[in-house]
A and B are shown apart, each in its own frame.
Chain A
Amino acid sequence: MSEITMPRLSDTMQEGTIARWLKKPGDEIKKGDVLAEIETDKATMDLEAYEEGTLQQILAQEGETVPIGQAVALIGTGAVAQSGEVGSAPVQPSTAVTGADEAETAPAKAEASTRSDGRTVSEGGERRAIKASPLARRMAEEHGIDLGQVQGTGPGGRVVRDDIEDFLEQRGGVPAAPAAPTPAPIAAAPPQPAPAAAAPPEAEVVKLSRVQMLIARRLAESKQTIPHFYVSSEVDMTDALAMRQTFNASAGEDGVKVTVNDLIVKACALALEKFPEVNSTLKDDQLIQYKHINVGFAVDVPSGLVVPVIRDTNIKGVRAIAREAKGLISRARANKLPPADLEGGTFSVSNLGMMDTSSFIAVINPPQVAILAVASTRKQFVPVDGQPVLRELMSMTLSADHRVIYGATVARFLQEVKGLLQNPYSLLG
C-alpha cells in the first residue's frame, strides 16, 4: 500500500485544499486518472495518479487543507482493507470537534496509539521523555497539543516552535505565532472555538477560500505598505471604437473579436516600453526594471478576482492579445488557470468599463508598482472649434507606488497611453 501525498503544484504553494474527490475508496485507479481537484493559493488543479491499484482510503476529506507532502489517500492492490463504511470521515464520538479538525483527528490518533504501543511509560512519563524546547512546550500547553503527536525536527529530534506551528496548521487551527511580525488579518480568529460560535445569530459565516484569503492578505499588505497616489486622465475613444468596429467586421463570423480592453492592454504595453520605471519592482532599496513587459488584467471570477498575465504584451499584435485574453478569461471563469498564467506580471489593468462606472481607483498588485483603472466610455459633448461635438470619452486612473514613481512620470505615462488610444492605428504596428 502506498501513500498519495499532497503535491507541490506551484512555487509558492505550501499547502493545498481538497476541493473534490473524483474517486472513492474501492475504485480501480489507472495511471493518469484524476483522483481529486486541489485548490492552491493560485488555482485549482488536478491530482493525478502515478500508480495503479485500488483506492484504499481517503485521508483528507473535501474542504480539508493539508501541507505539501502529507498523505491524502492510500492506494494498494486488492480489495479495500477496511471493514465498515469507507469514504465517510472517521468521526470521533467523544470529542466535539470543529469541521476543520474532524478529518485530521483520525491519522493523528493512529499515530499516537502506535507511539504509546512502543512505550511502556504512562502519558505523564512520556511527556518527560520527549525532547522539546521550552517554547515548544509552552505552545503545546497553550494549544492543548500532546507533544507525543508532534514530529520533532530540531537537533536530536527536539520539538521546536516550527514543528508546533506545522502541527497547528495541519490540524487546521491558526498558529498563534507569538513572534509573527505581521498581523495577518485571517489569523485574528482565536484558534480553538468553532467559528460559528462567535458570529451573531442573524449573520451567516462564510469561510474564505484559499484564493480569497490570499487576496485579502495581499491587498491589505499592498494598501498598508505602498504609498499609493493617483493620476487621472480622460481619453477620447471615438476613433479607437471606430477602428475596433472595422477591425472586427473584417474578422468574420469565427474570428476573434478584439475588445476595448485588448486595445488598452496593448496601449499600456507600448507605453511601458518608454517608461521602464513603471514596469518595475522595488526590492531592498533597489528598483528592478524588467526587460519583459507582461501586462495582467483583472478578471472577475466567482471565487473573487484573478489577474492572468499576457507575456511580452508589447511585441504581440492586437489580435494575438485578443485571442490569448479570451482563453485566459474562459479558463479563469472555469477556475482552471494554471499558476503559470498568473505569474510574472509586471503591470496590471483593471477595467470596469462594461459596468457603467464613471471613474474608480485600483489597488496596486504587488510586487508591481502601478495599476491602471479604466471606467466606462460615455458619450459627451466636447467643444471643437467652439462648437459642441459628441465624442466617446473614457476616464482612466493610474495608481502608482510613490516610493519609486513620481507624479510627473505618471502624468507623462498616461499622456502616452492616451496618445496611443487616440491614434489607434499606432496600436497595430
Chain B
Amino acid sequence: MAEITYRQALHDVLREELLRDENVFLLGEEIGVFEGSYKITAGLLSEFGPKRVVDTPIVENGFIGMATGAAMLGLRPIVEIMTINFIVLAMDQIVNHAAKIYAMFGGQCPVPLVIRTPGGGGQQLAATHSQNLEVWFAHVPGLKVVAPSTPADAKGLLRTSVRDNNPVIFLENLALYNTKGEEPAGDYMVPIGQAKVTKEGADLTVISYSRMAVMALDVARRMEQENKLSIEVVDLRSLRPLDHETIINSIKKTNRAIVFEEDWRSFGIGAEIAALVQEEAFDDLDAPVKRVASLEVPLPYSKPLELATLTGAKQLEDAINELAPRRRRR
C-alpha cells in the first residue's frame, strides 16, 4: 500500500469533497492565496476559485457564525481555524449556536459544519499557541469531536465528518502533519464514535488519541520487545461520542488501564475515561486507572522547560512499569 503524509491525506480529502459535492466550501484565515498556514489547502484556490475557497478576515467569531448560517441554509462549510488556540474567540458561535440550533429549533435545520483545527505543543510556540483544548468541545452535547492519529484515519474521519449533518470539531496536531502512514484505497470512511485497538495486548491497556496515540503505539511495541510486556493500545479516534464498548472490552481483557493524553490532567479526557471505566467495568479493575498527562502550567517557551512540561514517552514508560502486573499474562 502506498504511503502518504497526514498533511496530504487531509488535502486530498478536501479536494475530493470539493469535487464530489458543490455545496462543500472552505473558509478560514490564509487558506487561499497563502495556501494555509500548514499548507493543507495548497492549490485549492486556483483549482476551485474564490467562491469555494474563501479567505476570511482575522475574525473567528464572525466567520464561524457565517459558516453556521451557511450550513443552516444547506451548504456544507469546512472551516480551518489556524490553531485551536484561536478557537477561543469563537466559543459563543460554536457552543451557543452551532451546537444547539438543531435541538432548539425542533430539528428544523441541521448544521453540517466541520471545523478543522490543529492543537498540541512541542513546537516552542509558548503558552498561548500550544494548547490542547479538545476537552472543552467534547463536553458539549450537540457537537461531535474527532481526533485521528494516522493519515488513514485522517482521511476516513474527514470524509465522514464532511458528510455528517452535525457540527464536527476535527482535531489535528501540528506534530502529526509530516507523519506518514498507509494510504487507504478508495472512498475510505471511518465511522465517528468508533475507537480502534491499534495493538493487541494482555498485561494492560493504554488508551490515547491523536499524537499521543502514535507515541503510545511506539512505546508499547518497544516495551514488548524489550521487557516482554504485552500492552494493548486503544486509539480513541473520536472523543465525542466516545466508544464505550471498545474501551470496556479492553479493560475486561487486561484489567488495568492508563490514559495517555497531551492535555492537562484535571477534568481531562483521562478523568472522563477513568470515571467511565469504574462505572461500567468496576468488577474487572485490578488497579486504579492511571492518568498520564502534561503538567498543569501555562506552557513555557524555553525548549528544556517545554520538554519538561509536556508529557511523553518517558512518562508513559514509567507509568507502564508502575502499573504492570507482577505476573505477565503471556
CB-defined interface of B224-267 with A at 8 Å, one 1/0 digit per residue? 01000010000000000000000000001111000000000000
B166 to chain A, nearest CB (A): 36
- Do A135 and B286 touch (CB < 8 A)? yes
Nearest B residue to A136 by beta-carbon distance? B286
Q: Which of B253, B283, B330 contacts A138 (CB 8 A)?
A: B283
A160 to B225, CA, bound (A): 26
Which of B230, B255, B327, B329 interacts with A135 by CB under 8 Å?
B255
Chain B residue numbers with a CB within 8 Å of A197 are none
Contact (Cβ within 8 A) A134 B283: yes
Per-residue B-contact encoding for A180-204, CB less than 8 Å = 1, 0 else? 1110000000000000000000000
- The 8 Å CB contact of B327, one of A133, A165, A182, is A165
Q: Shortest Cβ distance from B169 into chain A, in angstroms?
A: 35
* Contact pattern, A 124-142, Cβ under 8 Å of B = 1, otherwise 0: 0000000001111110000
Q: Find chain B residues with CB under 8 A from A133 CB.
A: 285-287
Interface of B (DSSP majority class): loop
**In the assembled complex, which residues on chain B have CB atoms less than 8 Å from the CB atom of A123?**
none
Question: Is there contact, CB below 8 Å, between A134 and B284?
Answer: yes
Q: Which of A81-113 contact B (CB under 8 A)?
A: none
In the assembled complex, A154 has its CB within 8 A of some CB on chain B: yes
List chain A residues, Cβ under 8 A from B230.
181
Q: Which residue of chain B has its CB nearest to the CB of A14?
A: B327
| Residues of B close to A153: CB separation below 8 A | 326
Tell me the bound Cα distance from A138 to B327 in angstroms. Answer: 18
Chain B min CB distance to A136 (Å):
7
Given contacts A138-B283, A154-B287, A161-B286, A181 and B255 within 8 Å (CB-CB): no
Q: Measured between alpha carbons, how far is A52 from B309 in the docked complex, in Å? A: 60
B325 A161 Cβ-Cβ under 8 A: yes
Least CB distance from A417 to B in Å reads 35
Pick the contact of B225 from A134, A155, A178, A284 — CB < 8 Å? A284
Question: Could you say which residues of chain A place their CB within 8 Å of the CB of B255?
Answer: 135, 161, 179
Does A162 make an interface contact (CB < 8 A)?
A: yes
**A138 and B286 alpha carbons, distance in the complex (Å):** 10
- Bound: A116/B100 CA distance, A: 61
Q: Do residues A181 and B330 form an inter-chain contact, with CB atoms below 8 A?
A: yes
B283 touches A179 (CB 8 A): no
Cα of A199 to Cα of B253 in the assembled complex, Å: 32
Query: When each residue 81-94 of chain B gets 1 if its CB lies under 8 Å from chain A and 0 otherwise, what string results?
Result: 00000000000000
Residues of B within 8 A of A134 (CB): 282-286
Q: What is the chain B residue whose CB lies nearest that of A182? A: B330
Q: A155 contacts which chain B residues (CB < 8 A)?
A: 287
Query: Does chain A have a CB within 8 A of B109?
Result: no
Chain B neighbourhood of A166, CB < 8 A = 327
When the two chains form their complex, are residues A135 and B283 in contact, meaning their CB atoms are under 8 A apart? yes
Roughly how many angstroms separate A407 CA and B327 CA in the complex, as a whole number?
40
CB-contact partner of A179 in B225, B254, B287, under 8 A: B254
Contacts of A179 in B (CB 8 A): 202, 253-255, 329
Q: Which B residues touch A182, using CB under 8 A? A: 330
Minimum CB–CB distance for B298 against chain A, Å: 33
A135 to chain B, nearest CB (A): 4
Which of B206-239 touch A at CB < 8 Å?
225, 230
For residue A162, which residues in chain B have a CB less than 8 angstroms away from its CB? 325-327
Find residues 298-330 in chain B having any chain A CB closer than 8 Å to their own CB: 325-327, 329-330
A135/B330 in contact, CB under 8 A:
no
Assembly CA distance A165 to B283 (angstroms): 16
Q: Is A181 within 8 A of B329, CB to CB?
A: yes
State A178–B287 Cα separation when bound (angstroms): 16
Q: Which residues of B contact A137 (CB under 8 A)?
A: 283
Contact pick for B325, options A160, A178, A180, CB 8 Å: A160
Q: With A and B bound together, what is the CA distance between A331 and B330 in angstroms?
A: 33
Q: Which residues of B contact A135 (CB under 8 A)?
A: 255, 283-286
List B265-295 residues whose CB lies under 8 Å from chain A: 282-287
Q: Which residues of chain A come closer than 8 Å to B330, judged between CB atoms?
A: 181-182
Q: How far is A180 from B225 in the complex, measured between Cα atoms in Å?
A: 20
**Do A180 and B326 touch (CB < 8 A)?**
no
Q: Which residues on A sit within 8 Å (CB–CB) of B225?
A: 284
Task: Give, as a whole number of angstroms, the nearest-CB distance from B204 to chain A.
Answer: 10
Q: How far is the CB of B210 from chain A (nearest CB, A)?
A: 28
How many whole Å from A355's CB to the nearest CB in chain B? 38
Q: Which residue of the partner chain, among A160, A165, A284, contacts B287 with CB atoms under 8 Å?
A: A160
Distance A178 CA – B285 CA, assembled complex (angstroms): 12
Residue of B nearest to A155 (CB): B287
Closest B residue to A166 by beta carbon equals B327
Q: Report the minimal beta-carbon distance from A110 to chain B, rounded to whole angstroms.
A: 25
Q: Complex Cα distance A155/B287, Å?
A: 9
List, in ascending order, chain A residues with CB within 8 A of B285's CB: 133-135
> From residue A380, how far is it (CB to closest CB) to chain B in Å?
49
Q: In the complex, what's the smallest C-beta–C-beta distance from A183 to chain B, in angstroms? A: 12
A-B contact pairs, 13 of them (CB 8 A): A133-B286, A134-B283, A135-B285, A137-B283, A138-B283, A160-B325, A161-B286, A162-B325, A166-B327, A178-B252, A179-B329, A181-B202, A181-B330
* Given A135-B283, A179-B253, A182-B330, 13 extra CB contacts under 8 A: A133-B285, A134-B282, A134-B284, A134-B286, A135-B284, A137-B283, A153-B326, A160-B286, A161-B286, A162-B325, A165-B327, A178-B252, A181-B202
- Give 4 closest A-B pairs by Cβ, nearest first: A135-B286, A162-B327, A133-B286, A138-B283
